[in-house]
Amino acid sequence: MKQDKMDLQYITLRDQPNLKDTAADWFHSKWGVPREAYLECMDAYLSGETELGWYLCLDGEKIVGGMGVIENDFHDRKDLTPNVCAVYTEEGYRGQGIAGTLLDMTVEDLRSKGISPAYLVTDHTGFYERYGWEFLCMVQGDDEPDMTRMYIHR
């Protein structure tokens, strides 16, 4: 668990498993992926079935940023795994390094468990490079007409 000068708290879902339902609702509201899909991944993480986790930034009891790690983030390159997914920071909290802190925390947590490299898909350019991610290739998203960017963190 990390605390920074803004009094934001950075946790894994294992640090506060009681936030599972709140976190699933929050991620669902941001990305539209069914709540049940988040709960299934979170349950696997909380039960120890997988080390692919969920990471949150809290302001008091409010989730203001988060991301997860899953096997595949809805693309055709099943060999590029695991994938950081659902990266989101609330609008009023952007520009304060929250996503970067969560990305670093996620990569470090995975690495401590012997999981490296990690991948992510995004349409953003210039953002992830600031945190040690490198453009790897283009991938085809499931049911997407256009290719999307795949990044790697070694």
pLDDT per residue as tens digits for the range 38-91: 999 999 999 999 999 999 999 999 999 999 999 999 999 999 999 999 999 999
Q: Measure the CA–CA gap between 14 and 113, rounded to whole angstroms.
A: 15
Contact indicator for 9, 1 with CB cutoff of 8 Å: yes
* All structural domains of the chain with their residue ranges: 2-115
pLDDT at 3: 45
Distances (CA, A) of 31 to 7, 28, 58, 114: 26, 5, 19, 29
Beta bridge partners of 120: 84, 151
- pLDDT, tens digit, for every residue of 129-139? 999 999 999 99
Beta strands in 62-124 (DSSP E): 62-70, 83-89, 118-122
pTM higher than 0.85: yes
CATH class held by domain 2-115: alpha beta
